[in-house]
Structure 1
Amino acid sequence: MPVRDILQLGHPLLRAVAEPVADPSAPAIANLVTDLTDTVAHWRDTTGYGRAIAAPQIGELQRVILLRLPGRPVWPLINPSIIAHSPEKLVVWDACLSFLSIFMQVERYEWIRVRYQDQQGQWHEAHAGREDDLAELLQHEIDHLDGILSLDRMVDVKSLCSREEFERQFKANSPYGR
């Protein structure tokens, strides 16, 4: 499948709420997962960024996200939802392939429990915590399905910085430096 364009900040579909997937085993969903896989791999190879992507970022208003973490199999989650979370929150650096030129600090739950379907339609639950910054990453991608961007979660506008300045000052101690 082809590498798809990623919608950029300001595109109205990034603020739309994605529709639930009725049949996770449908060929159209398999094609979407392939497109997401190829697209995030391309961005990772060309920019050094991109651990995950949500279907709305390529203009598909379906509740599908895909994680592509180094050293792990590609992980598509269909109809994901957060069913539990920690009372504690963390402030972390965040960025997005839909506006990769800016970084900001956001508040996220320390851990979450996510319910989702696989491509055969089976339901699963996963616990995500600080390891691999998985909780933060899943919260970011699930937000995309609800039309919420990391800019909406920014803790202080003073944390906003350019990609160049982020890389100079903060990247080494962030998930993006790994």
Structure 2
Amino acid sequence: MLKAISKLFSKKPQEPAAPSMSPADQAAFDKGREISQAQTAEIEHFIGWRFEQIRTGYLNVIQKQFDSGRQQEEYSPLLVARVEYSLYLKHVQEAQDALKAEVYQTFHEWSDLNRELAVEDIIEKWLDTILSDRFLDLRIAGLKVMTDNADILKTADDNWRRKFPDLAAAQPLD
């Protein structure tokens, strides 16, 4: 009796079987999957190509901004670097939004198909995830540029504060 009861409780509930498809439905399903995979692969390739251009340009710009911040004499080089990184983050977000719009513009011919297949929301969530991941990496890379410049910025700031004590008093770091 105990064995029978333990067998009842030890059985795992079976998941319902997927409904079987007719050969025509299966062929349509397979074709949809093929189209979807081709579409996402093409979009990922485009994003990779465009993102590398954006990444290289933005990292060069932030480095130049840090360099010029060390050369100017009106403001604390460290404060300039903080402001520049803050602006960098804003520009990176704008670039992310612009690349998303560019993807939609470049692949506009797929909009009708996506609407017909009722996958617009899925495509948008996928695109947002892909872009968020890429641009998070760009934000972090910009922060790395800033930390790589930390010692030279600190030295420049110390020198600036000695050279311009009145300006330094008006521009505390905290």
TM-score, normalised with respect to structure 1: 0.21
Greater share of helix:
2
- Bigger Rg, which one: 2
Greater share of strand:
1
TM-score, normalised with respect to structure 2: 0.21
